[in-house]
Amino acid sequence: MAQVKLAKVRKLYGDVVAVHGVDLLIDDGEFIVFLGPSGCGKSTTLRMIAGLENISSGTVHIGSRDVTSLEPKDRDIAMVFQNYALYPHKTIRENLAFGLKMRRMDRAEIETRVNSTATMLGLEPFLERKPKQLSGGQMQRVALGRALVRNPEIFLLDEPLSNLDAKLRVKMREEIALLQKEVGTSMVYVTHDQVEAMTLADRIVIMRDGHVQQIGAPLEVYDKPANLFVAGFIGSPEMNLVDGRLDGGVFRADELSLDMPANIVGAANENVTLGIRPEHITIGDGPNARTFRANVIEQLGSQTLCVGSVGGQPMRVLMERSDTVTRGSEFTVSFQPGRLHAFATGEGTRIDATNQEERELIAS
């Protein structure tokens, strides 16, 4: 096990910059998730750590070693791909043992590691089967086992659950989380699924167009998104965003006006985008009480999502389950000032007087 350090890592394809100068320190035993939409550079960054993509500039260290120019086989990493990449003609036992045999490991040690890994992952009944005789979840366990059996310094996982159905993804997500805590080895996990990121990560690295947008613990990026992109990307249903202006500490957008918290910079006529999560809008009287009109009702089981408007502005409200609210219903909602966010229109950076230095750094 070891720390992983990326220093100003960039990737160019001709004149196109795919990854712009990533700086990141991954602690020993930490679970890091790269999150972002397709084409944001997250898988490219992972492949540069693995040595499967050449680095255009910058360095990668694993432990005390500079591995920037090393071949993948010399980096002591193990990678799990989106497709399972199992050998269809080999048994599960042979698939698990293959990498160890290629390293010319002692036969007894191979047998010990394979059996131990199979027990950990519940694969003992399937060791003599071929991959085609397994379910998708079982094949994903074999792919994980083939990485685990090597006992590497770091695990790299590139969207390993994307081929599974929704129910199985949840189960495998839980298994990966438990597995990482058990083995204690650093994991770097790539996904476009924010639920996977929020439930698995110690820290999330959010990327867009090759740039790192924010690095932080799941609840940190949820509670204090660094910019409009992060605010809209993290959270389901997504954050309500309304364009308007700040005037003496009051947000105004057409018929909507809301008192803002003291930590948000209030400059007269400053154009801003207001942010408020649907679950943070309170039903009933309270601060900033306004009338909400529901246009669409989505029953989610334990919760009800109402899509409508407040003061002429589109708004989503997520409440406890209600069997009585219907299309056209009107009711009072409140906006707690402490739950309101503001972002600079245009640059999109978070406005927060208590963290002005961070705001200026993000903008630069």
CATH of the domain at 89: 3.40.50.300
CA–CA distance, 349 with 273 (Å, rounded to integer): 10
Query: Residue range 90-111: average pLDDT?
Result: 90
Choose one of 223, 245, 262: the last residue of a domain: 223
Phi–psi pair at 137, nearest 5 degrees? -65, -40
Is there a single domain that holds both residue 238 and residue 206? Answer: no
CA distances in angstroms from 32 to 52, 200, 359, listed in the order given? 19, 8, 24
Between CA 344 and CA 225 the distance in angstroms is: 13
Helical segments of the chain, H only: 42-50, 92-102, 107-121, 136-148, 166-183, 194-200, 218-223, 228-233, 356-363
Instruction: State in Å, rounded, how far the first CA of the chain is from the last one.
Output: 35
Q: Quickly tell me which residue has 């996904």 as its tokens.
A: 191
Per mean pLDDT, which range of 248-252, 327-331, 345-349 is the poorest?
A: 345-349
**Residue 360: band (very low, low, confident or very high) from pLDDT cuts 50, 70, 90:** very low
- My answer on whether 183 and 239 are in the same domain is no
Q: Which of 190, 223, 256 is the last residue of a domain?
A: 223
Do both 219 and 234 map to the same domain?
Answer: no
249 shares a domain with 348:
yes
| Domain identity same for 96 and 245 | no
pLDDT tens digit sequence for 272-290:
999 999 999 999 999 999 9
Domain boundary residue among 181, 207, 223?
223
Mean pLDDT of 58-82: 92
Residue 30 has pLDDT above 50, yes or no: yes
Put the strands of the sheet holding 4-13 in their side by side order.
16-26, 4-13, 57-62, 65-66
Residue 362 pLDDT > 50: no
**Total domain count, the chain:** 2
Residue 187, pLDDT above cutoff 50: yes
Could you tell me if 202 and 351 lie in one domain? no
- Examine the domain organization and report whether 313 and 209 are in the same domain: no
DSSP per position, 141-190:
HHHHHHHHTT--SEEEEESTTTTS-HHHHHHHHHHHHHHHHHH--EEEEE
For the purposes of burial, counting CB atoms within 10 Å of the CB of 273, is it exposed (0-12), middle (13-18) or buried (19 or more)? buried
pLDDT confidence of 200, banded at 50, 70, 90? Answer: very high
Predicted TM-score (pTM) of the model is 0.87
pLDDT for 247 beyond 80: yes
Statement: residue 243 has pLDDT above 70: yes
CB atoms within 10 A of CB 128: 10
148 exposed, middle or buried (CB, 10 Å; 0-12, 13-18, 19+)? Answer: buried
Same domain, 146 and 246: no
154 and 56 share one domain: yes
Q: Residue 66: which domain range?
A: 4-223
Say yes or no: 168 and 250 in one domain. no
35 and 121 in a single domain? The answer is: yes
Same domain, 123 and 84: yes
